[in-house]
Amino acid sequence: MEETSNTYSLTEAKVAKMERDPVKTVIMASMIGTAIEFFDFYAYGTAAATYFPNVFFPSVTPTIAMILSLLTFGVAFVARPLGSLLFGHFGDKLGRKRALVVSLLMMGLSTVVIGFLPGYRTLGMTAILLLCLARFTQGIGLGGEWSGAVLVATENAPKGKRALFGSFTELGAPIGFFLSNGLYVILETVLTKSQMAEFGWRVPFVASAVLVVFGLWVRRKMQETPLFRLAQQRDNVKKAPLAQVFTKSWKQILQGTFVMAVSYTFFFLLSTWSLSYGTAVLGFDSREFLMFLMGSIVVFAGMIVYSSMLSDRFGRRTVLLAGTAAIFVFSFVFPFFFQGHQNVVGTLFFLVVGFLAMGVIYGPVGAMLPELFPTSTRYSGAGIAYNMSAIVGAAFAPTIASWLVGQWGIHAVGYYLGFMSLVSIVALLLTKETKSVDYTK
């Protein structure tokens, strides 16, 4: 036991002496991709719900056009697990930096292409096929983004600050959310509805090129992470990391998937379903509700950092259990507030308290998921778990919530969220604390 401890201390000392990127480079390199991911999510979601039915599906009824438009939104969810397999393999075999540069380039180019696509009236069915192809390619790039970015952060982290560094990646979510919704608010304020339908919806997709170019510049400058270089020196880089992760770490993949499932469900209820419910049922103007969301997202960002710092002190499992239990309680409380015509106080309670709790569970997973896996399969394992949790927790969350409201009312959405909370609580109870694992192995 003492020999193992001494070896661990010597390895830590060796890693501490290795050359690494400045903290500001680590922050930007790990944050920019997630910011683009969530910027794209909201840009596409808003366009799919508002403009794509007329641009790409004008020959069918409005209802069918909306369904078909939203189905294109789901194409990326199908592609993301494939992206995690592809980039996980190369990220564990060739290095984090190379995989992240390619994933960002693939994600960015696909997003910009969508902004320039002709509509159905110009290309007919070809336009729809190109839209789906761009969205699929985008999803593959997205599938390799989070896990690689969070490894850049955590594998560069000093001792005792791994979750804090992991929060840099997580902060991309509120930043992308704020930028996308803010841009749509500005566009819908200065442009007419006909101008938005004609060309305004394209602006966010094309504008994302600025973020992509900046992200590529930062990532081209960064070094490979110290822990991957250490694995190369030890000849601990696997030739077939995917085979390794599925045969030796399948249990950790399942744990990570279900630990994070409720965070995806809750985030999509707060950010996507609430917008449609708030405008269609509660009677809010879309721009007004977007302003509510943008204010609440600031609370989310602050709580991500604070909860990550707490998990560095008290452990990932402790903080995540507390946050998930709070969401379980919240699931039975919020339906009493989130109702009534233009109920500003009740709506703000739902959004502010909801995003506060969301921040508690979203921060620590940036460290916990990669800590479940060794360096040799960390990119693959964390990526597969992260993207599988997106399918389990998020792929159908807004649709399920809307259906539940129509069938049984707002309280049924609370029961749904409560059930997902219990799933994650059970997964957490079956998962060991990871704060003190030897991250160099």
DSSP for 97-120?
HHHHHHHHHHHHHHHHHHHH---H
Residues in the chain: 441
Pick 11 or 262 by higher pLDDT: 262
Q: Do residues 184 and 46 make contact, with C-beta atoms less than 8 angstroms apart? A: yes
Q: Domain for residue 316, yes or no?
A: yes
Q: Domain for residue 88, yes or no?
A: yes
Residue-range definition of the domain harbouring residue 194: 20-224+238-429
Q: Between the CA of residue 27 and those of 125, 149, 406, what are the distances in Å?
A: 42, 10, 43
Q: Domain for residue 374, yes or no?
A: yes
What is the rounded average pLDDT of the residues 286-308?
93
Quote the pLDDT of residue 14: 58
Quote the pLDDT of residue 5: 47
Lowest average pLDDT, out of 58-72, 77-91, 158-172, 325-339, goes to 58-72
Q: Between the CA of residue 126 and those of 59, 82, 272, 365, what are the distances in Å?
A: 14, 24, 29, 41
Q: How far apart are CA 313 and CA 274, in angstroms?
A: 34
Q: Residue 2's pLDDT band (boundaries 50, 70, 90)? A: very low
Quote the pLDDT of residue 67: 74
> Residue 371: which CATH number?
1.20.1250.20
What is the rounded average pLDDT of the residues 230-253?
88
Quote the pLDDT of residue 16: 57
User: In the predicted model, is pLDDT for residue 58 greater than 60?
Assistant: yes
Q: Residue 3's pLDDT band (boundaries 50, 70, 90)? A: very low
Quote the pLDDT of residue 401: 87
Q: Domain for residue 441, yes or no?
A: no
Q: How far apart are CA 135 and CA 72, in angstroms?
A: 7
With tokens 């999510």, the residue in question is 41
- Cβ burial 283-309 (10 Å sphere, 16+ → b, else e): ebebeebbebbbebbebbbebbbbbbb
Q: How far apart are CA 286 and CA 279, in angstroms?
A: 6
User: In the predicted model, is pLDDT for residue 63 greater than 80?
Assistant: no
Quote the pLDDT of residue 49: 76
User: In the predicted model, is pLDDT for residue 6 greater than 60?
Assistant: no
Quote the pLDDT of residue 18: 65
| Number of separate domains in the chain | 1
pLDDT in tens, 370-379: 999 998 899 9
Lowest average pLDDT, out of 151-155, 213-217, 284-288, 407-411, goes to 284-288
Nearest to 297 by CA among 25, 29, 39: 39
What is the rounded average pLDDT of the residues 26-30?
90
The pTM is what? 0.89
Q: Domain for residue 439, yes or no?
A: no
- Cβ burial 200-237 (10 Å sphere, 16+ → b, else e): bbbbbbebbeebbeebbebbeebbbbbbbbbbeeeeeb
Quote the pLDDT of residue 84: 92
pLDDT in tens, 252-292: 999 999 999 999 999 989 988 888 888 888 998 878 888 89
Quote the pLDDT of residue 4: 46
- DSSP SS3 for 317: helix
Q: Domain for residue 4, yes or no?
A: no
Q: How far apart are CA 52 and CA 68, in angstroms?
A: 9
